[in-house]
C-alpha cells in the first residue's frame, strides 16, 4: 500500500473536485463526500503506518519539469516514519473535524463551500507531508495557506473575518517568501531540492557554511510564518474569526504544525548548523513564553487557545532546535490531538452560549457535561499532568532544553506553569460557578459529541507511544532520521517532577483565583499590576508597531511613489501626448485649404532649391 501512498491525498482531492463541479448544489452530499474522501485517506494512512512500523520505506520520484540544460524538477513522495506519523495525525484529526462540522455548520449558507475547501485543505496537507522535495513541499505549503485564507474568511460578509483572512495570508506570505528564496538559494548551491540529497550533501560536506546556515534559516523563515512564531505570530489570534472546526483542524492541529514538520523534515540539514539550531531553539523558546503570557489575559476562549497553540508550537521548535527532533515531533502529535479536542470543546460551548467571551460563560458543566470532562482532560494534558499525553512529550523537550542552555530550560519551565494557569483559568471561567450570560439548554447533535469522545482516546493514550518506561517506541521509530544529538531523549526524573509540580501549581493557582467562577480576584490582581496588564492585553503592542509600519511607513513610501508616478512618470507620458497635440494644432494652420498658398510654398521651395544649386556655380564652389 505504501507504493501507492499517493491515494491518500488523491481521495480528498476527488471529493473536492466532485464538490466543485456539481455536488455543491447539494450541501448534504458535499458534507458526505468530504467525509468519505477523508475516511479513505485515514484508512490508507493507518495501513501505511502499519507498513512503516514493519519497516517498509518508499521513496519515489518522477520527473516533472524537464529543464533543457540542467536537472529536471522532480515531484515525488516518500513514506518514512516521519511521514507515516504525520499522515495519521492529519487524516484522523481531519476526519473527526469533518464529522464535527456536520453538526457545527448545520444550516450554514456556505455549507457546501466549507466542505469543499476542507477537502482541498486535507488534500494539500497530506500532500505536504508526503512530498519528498522542497519544491513540492512549497507547492502544497502555498495550497494550505490558500485554504487557510479561504476558511478563515468563510464568513466573509463579516468585516473582521475578511480582515483576519487577509492578515493571515499577508503575514504568512512574509515567511513564505523567505522559504521560496531559501529554495532557490539551496537549488543554486546544490542543484537539487530532494530533501534526502540535501541531507546527504550536508552530512558529507557537500553543503557547508555559510550556505548551509543561510539556506536552512531561510527555510526556517517559512516555518516561522506558518507556525506563528515570533515575530510573525500576529495572524494566528485573529485567525480565530474562522469557524471553530477550522481553527481546530488548521490553526491548531495541522497547518500551523507544518512549520514544525518542515523543520523536522529538514532536520538532517539543520543539525549540521549549530547557528541555525540555536536560532530555532531561541525563537521557539521565546515564542513559547511570549505567547503564554498573552494567554493569561485574553477573555476570548478561542484566542486563549490560539495563544496556547503558538506557545506550544514554540515548544516544539525549541525541541527541534535543541536537537531533539523526535521530541518535537512527539509533542506535535500529542498537541494535535489534545488541542483539536480543546478547540472542538470550545466550539461546543460557543455553539451553546453564542459568544466567545469567557466572562459571559460560567456554569456550563450543567449543560455540557461531556464537553466539560473532555476539555478538562485535554487541558490537563496540555498542562503536562501525568499520565496524559502532553506530559510525556513536554518532558522530553524540557530534558533536551536543559541539556542545551539553562535559559531555554527556564523559559520552557515558566511557560509550562503559565500554560497550566491560563488553561484552567479558561476551564473554570467557562464551566465553574453559575452562568453569567444567557445560556439556555439545547441539545447538541451527536455528530458534535462523538468526535469529542473519539479525540479523548489519543489525548489520554498517545503519550504512551513515547513513554520512557515502554522504551520510547516513538523515538525508536524516528531513530536514524538525521544523525541526531540526543535524539532519543532520556527520562530525567527531576525534570519530570519539577514540571509536574509547576503544572499542578498553575492549576491550583487558577482554582484559587477563578475556581468559584468569581471574577473579582482576577480583576483585583489585574488592577494591582495595571501597567503590565495593559502591555500584555495589548499584545505587547506588536500589532500596533506593525500597523504603524504598514500604515505610516509603507503608506508614506507608497504616497511618495504615487506622487512620483503621477507627476514624473505620468508627466513624461502626458507631456509627449501634449507635444503631439500642440504641434498638430500649430501645424494644422498651414493647411489653410488655399490652393494658391500651397502653390506659393511650392514656388518658394523651388526657388530655394534653385538658389542652392546655382549659387555655388556662380561663386565657383565658394559660398
Out of 69, 204, 594, 619, name the contact with other proteins by CB under 8 A.
594
Whether residue 387 is preceded by a cis peptide bond, meaning omega within 30 degrees of 0, is yes
Q: What is the grid cell recorded at 556?
A: 508614506
Neighbouring-strand partners of residue 61: 76
Out of 438, 591, 617, 622, name the contact with other proteins by CB under 8 A.
591
Out of 568, 603, 609, 614, name the contact with other proteins by CB under 8 A.
603
Q: Which stretch binds other proteins (CB under 8 A): 340-348, 472-480, 527-535, 582-590?
A: 582-590
Residue linked to cell 493569561: 296
Closer residue to other proteins in complex, CB, 563/583: 583
Q: Which stretch binds other proteins (CB under 8 A): 317-325, 534-542, 556-564, 584-592?
A: 584-592
Residue linked to cell 509603507: 554
From the CB of 588, what's the least distance to other proteins, in Å?
A: 4
What are the CA-CA distances from residue 228 to residues 133, 264, 283, 402 (Å)? 23, 16, 11, 24
**DSSP symbols for 518-534:** -SHHHHHHHHHTHHHHH
Q: Is 581 in the site for other proteins (CB under 8 A)?
A: no
Q: Is 592 in the site for other proteins (CB under 8 A)?
A: yes
Q: Which stretch binds other proteins (CB under 8 A): 176-184, 244-252, 398-406, 581-589?
A: 581-589
Relative to beta strand 73-79, strand 58-65 is: antiparallel
Q: What is the dihedral of CA 552, 554, 557, 562, to 10 degrees?
A: -100
Closer residue to other proteins in complex, CB, 591/619: 591
Longest CA–CA separation in the chain, Å: 123
Closer residue to other proteins in complex, CB, 68/584: 584
Q: Is 204 in the site for other proteins (CB under 8 A)?
A: no
From the CB of 603, what's the least distance to other proteins, in Å?
A: 7
Q: Is 589 in the site for other proteins (CB under 8 A)?
A: yes
With CB under 8 A, what is the number of residues at the site for other proteins? 13
Q: What is the grid cell recorded at 344?
A: 472542538
Out of 72, 529, 582, 599, name the contact with other proteins by CB under 8 A.
599
Q: Which stretch binds other proteins (CB under 8 A): 46-54, 287-295, 327-335, 595-603?
A: 595-603
From the CB of 601, what's the least distance to other proteins, in Å?
A: 10
Q: Is 605 in the site for other proteins (CB under 8 A)?
A: no
86 within 8 A of 75, measured Cβ to Cβ: no
Out of 54, 590, 617, 618, name the contact with other proteins by CB under 8 A.
590
Cα–Cα distance for residue pair 429/510, rounded to 1 Å: 10
Q: Is 64 in the site for other proteins (CB under 8 A)?
A: no
Closer residue to other proteins in complex, CB, 441/595: 595
From the CB of 604, what's the least distance to other proteins, in Å?
A: 10
Cα–Cα distance for residue pair 120/274, rounded to 1 Å: 38
Q: Is 588 in the site for other proteins (CB under 8 A)?
A: yes
CB atoms closer than 10 angstroms to residue 64: 13
Out of 67, 527, 595, 613, name the contact with other proteins by CB under 8 A.
595
Q: Contacts for 358-361 with beta carbons within 8 Å, 24 or more apart?
A: 358/299, 358/300, 358/301, 358/304, 358/426, 358/429, 358/430, 359/299, 359/429, 359/436, 359/519, 360/436, 360/437, 361/301, 361/429, 361/430, 361/431, 361/435, 361/436, 361/437, 361/439
Letters for 273-302 (x = contact with other proteins by CB under 8 A, - = none) are ------------------------------
Q: Which DSSP helix (H) or strand (E) runs through 111? A: helix 111-130
Q: Is 619 in the site for other proteins (CB under 8 A)?
A: no
Query: Which residue, among 192, 176, 89, 173, has the nearest Cα to 132 in the 3D structure?
Result: 192
Contacts with other proteins by CB under 8 A lie at 587-596, 599-600, 603
Amino acid at each position: 500500500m505504501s507504493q501507492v501512498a499517493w491515494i491518500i491525498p488523491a481521495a480528498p482531492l476527488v471529493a473536492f473536485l466532485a464538490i466543485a463541479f456539481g455536488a455543491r448544489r447539494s450541501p448534504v452530499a458535499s458534507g458526505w463526500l468530504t467525509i468519505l474522501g477523508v475516511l479513505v485517506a485515514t484508512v490508507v494512512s493507518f495501513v501505511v503506518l502499519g507498513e512503516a512500523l514493519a519497516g517498509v520505506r518508499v521513496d519515489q520520484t518522477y520527473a516533472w519539469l524537464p529543464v533543457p540544460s540542467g536537472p529536471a524538477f522532480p515531484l515525488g513522495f516518500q513514506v518514512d516514519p516521519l511521514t507515516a506519523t504525520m499522515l495519521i495525525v492529519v487524516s484522523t484529526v481531519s476526519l473527526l473535524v469533518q464529522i464535527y462540522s456536520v453538526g457545527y455548520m448545520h444550516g450554514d449558507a456556505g455549507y457546501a463551500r466549507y466542505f469543499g475547501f476542507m477537502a482541498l485543505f486535507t488534500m494539500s496537507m497530506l500532500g505536504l507531508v508526503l512530498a519528498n522535495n522542497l519544491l513540492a513541499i512549497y507547492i502544497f505549503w502555498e495550497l494550505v495557506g490558500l485554504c487557510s485564507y479561504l476558511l478563515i474568511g468563510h464568513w466573509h460578509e463579516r468585516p473582521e473575518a475578511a480582515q483576519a483572512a487577509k492578515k493571515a495570508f499577508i503575514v504568512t506570505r512574509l515567511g513564505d517568501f523567505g522559504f521560496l528564496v531559501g529554495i532557490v538559494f539551496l537549488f543554486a548551491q546544490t542543484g537539487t531540492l530532494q530533501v534526502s540529497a540535501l541531507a546527504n550533501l550536508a552530512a558529507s560536506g557537500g553543503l557547508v557554511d555559510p550556505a548551509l546556515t543561510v539556506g536552512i534559516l531561510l527555510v526556517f523563515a517559512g516555518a516561522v510564518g506558518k507556525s506563528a512564531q515570533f515575530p510573525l505570530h500576529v495572524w494566528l489570534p485573529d485567525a480565530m474569526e474562522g469557524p471553530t472546526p477550522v481553527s481546530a483542524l488548521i490553526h491548531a492541529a495541522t497547518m500551523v504544525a507544518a512549520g514544525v514538520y518542515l523543520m523536522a523534515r529538514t532536520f538532517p540539514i539543520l543539525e549540521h548548523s549549530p547557528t541555525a539550531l540555536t536560532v530555532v531553539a531561541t525563537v521557539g523558546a521565546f515564542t513559547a513564553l511570549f505567547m503564554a503570557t498573552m494567554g493569561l489575559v485574553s477573555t476570548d476562549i478561542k484566542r486563549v487557545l490560539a495563544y496556547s497553540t503558538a506557545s506550544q508550537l514554540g515548544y516544539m521548535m525549541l525541541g527541534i532546535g535543541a536537537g531533539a527532533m523526535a521530541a518535537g515531533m512527539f509533542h506535535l502529535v500529542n498537541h494535535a490531538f489534545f488541542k483539536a479536542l480543546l478547540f472542538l470543546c470550545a466550539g461546543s460551548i460557543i455553539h451553546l452560549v453564542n459568544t466567545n467571551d469567557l466572562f459571559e460563560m460560567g456554569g456550563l458543566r450543567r449543560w455540557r457535561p461531556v464537553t466539560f470532562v473532555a476539555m478538562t482532560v485535554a487541558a490537563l494534558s496540555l498542562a503536562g499532568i501525568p499520565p496524559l499525553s502532553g506530559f510525556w512529550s513536554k518532558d522530553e523537550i524540557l530534558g533536551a532544553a536543559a541539556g542545551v542552555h539553562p535559559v531555554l530550560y527556564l523559559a520552557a519551565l515558566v511557560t509550562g506553569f503559565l500554560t497550566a494557569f491560563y488553561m484552567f483559568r479558561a476551564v473554570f471561567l467557562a464551566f465553574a460557578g453559575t452562568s453569567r450570560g444567557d445560556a439556555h439548554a439545547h441539545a447538541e447533535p451527536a455528530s458534535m459529541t462523538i468526535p469529542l469522545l473519539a479525540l479523548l482516546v489519543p489525548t489520554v493514550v498517545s503519550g504512551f507511544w513515547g513513554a520512557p518506561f515502554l522504551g520510547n517506541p516513538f523515538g525508536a521509530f524516528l531513530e536514524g532520521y538525521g544523525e541526531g544529538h540526543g535524539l532519543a531523549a532520556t527520562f530525567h526524573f527531576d525534570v519530570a517532577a519539577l514540571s509536574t509540580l509547576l503544572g499542578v501549581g498553575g492549576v491550583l493557582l487558577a482554582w484559587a483565583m477563578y475556581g468559584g467562577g468569581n471574577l473579582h480576584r482576577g480583576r483585583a490582581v489585574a488592577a494591582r499590576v495595571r501597567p503590565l496588564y495593559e502591555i500584555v492585553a495589548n499584545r505587547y503592542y506588536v500589532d500596533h508597531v506593525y500597523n504603524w509600519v504598514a500604515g505610516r511607513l509603507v503608506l508614506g513610501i507608497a504616497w511618495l511613489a504615487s506622487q512620483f508616478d503621477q507627476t514624473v512618470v505620468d508627466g513624461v507620458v502626458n507631456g509627449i501626448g501634449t507635444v503631439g497635440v500642440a504641434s498638430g494644432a500649430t501645424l494644422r494652420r498651414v493647411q489653410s485649404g488655399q490652393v494658391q498658398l500651397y502653390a506659393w510654398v511650392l514656388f518658394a521651395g523651388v526657388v530655394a532649391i534653385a538658389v542652392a544649386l546655382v549659387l555655388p556655380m556662380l561663386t565657383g564652389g565658394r559660398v
